[in-house]
């Protein structure tokens, strides 16, 4: 069983979803980074930011996978930032300690992940169903489709690849242009 991680002083925060492009918190430094043993998946429900209670959107969480790497951005933050982030990441997420890898070094840090036993976990679904749900849903932070498109854009800006994100992006754009989702 995983546990909530306390923070003190300055610490690295690893972002793999909206934190990559939409921080909304102060940080001392930002760096391209990755973590090992985890994959980004659109398996978490969003009843607040990208959907509503009766129609949750789909956002990313991390799923353990032995040989995987998940690229994102790491931010060196002061501990008081976690009060704000705990409110932002309230919909099933918790803090997890991870080893963050940079180009030439590494550090221990924190990420937020939504474990499979959380109340908002949706799990896997066929891509067509995910695309339909993502295109339909919207919440207080905007359209769920925009979340996917922004994530794809941000990953490209980091020169990072994620075939699952890019496939959803392509299918969402295709659906907007009248192609089969």
| Closest by Cα among 66, 65, 75, 58 to 16 | 75
Extract the tokens encoding 88. Answer: 């932002």
pLDDT single digits (tens) 78-98: 999 998 898 888 888 999 999
pLDDT single digits (tens) 154-179: 999 999 999 999 999 999 998 877 76
pLDDT for the residue numbered 181: 47
Catalytic machinery residues: 89
Distance CA 56, CA 58 (A): 7
Q: What ranges in 15-143 are assigned the alpha helix state H?
A: 81-88, 127-136
Report long-range pairs for 146-152 (Cβ below 8 Å, ≥24 apart): 147/17, 147/18, 147/49, 147/50, 147/57, 147/59, 148/42, 148/172, 149/173, 150/18, 150/21, 150/22, 151/17, 151/18, 151/20, 151/21, 151/60
Distance CA 102, CA 89 (A): 24
Average model confidence (pLDDT) across the chain: 92
Distance CA 62, CA 113 (A): 6
Read off the pTM. 0.91
Distance CA 140, CA 80 (A): 24
Task: Report domain extents, the chain.
Answer: 10-176
The strand pairing partners of 71, in sequence order, are 34
CATH class of 10-176: alpha beta
pLDDT single digits (tens) 102-150: 988 999 999 999 999 999 999 999 999 999 999 999 999 999 999 999 9
């Amino acid at each position: 069983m995983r546990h909530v991680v306390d923070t003190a002083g300055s610490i690295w925060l690893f972002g793999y979803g909206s934190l990559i492009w939409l921080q909304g918190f102060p940080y001392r430094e930002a760096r391209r980074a990755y973590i090992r043993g985890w994959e980004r998946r659109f398996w978490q429900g969003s009843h607040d930011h990208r959907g509503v209670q009766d129609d949750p959107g789909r956002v990313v969480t991390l799923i353990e996978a032995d040989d995987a790497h998940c690229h994102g951005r790491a931010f060196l933050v002061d501990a008081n930032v976690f009060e704000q982030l705990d409110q932002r990441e309230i919909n099933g997420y918790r803090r997890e300690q991870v080893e963050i890898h940079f180009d030439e070094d590494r550090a221990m840090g924190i990420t937020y992940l939504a474990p499979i036993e959380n109340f908002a976990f949706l799990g896997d679904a066929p891509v067509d169903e995910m695309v339909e749900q993502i295109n339909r849903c919207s919440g207080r932070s905007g359209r769920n489709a925009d979340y996917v498109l922004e994530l794809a854009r941000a990953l490209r800006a980091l020169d990072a690849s994620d075939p699952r994100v890019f496939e959803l992006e392509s299918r969402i754009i295709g659906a907007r242009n009248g192609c089969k989702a």
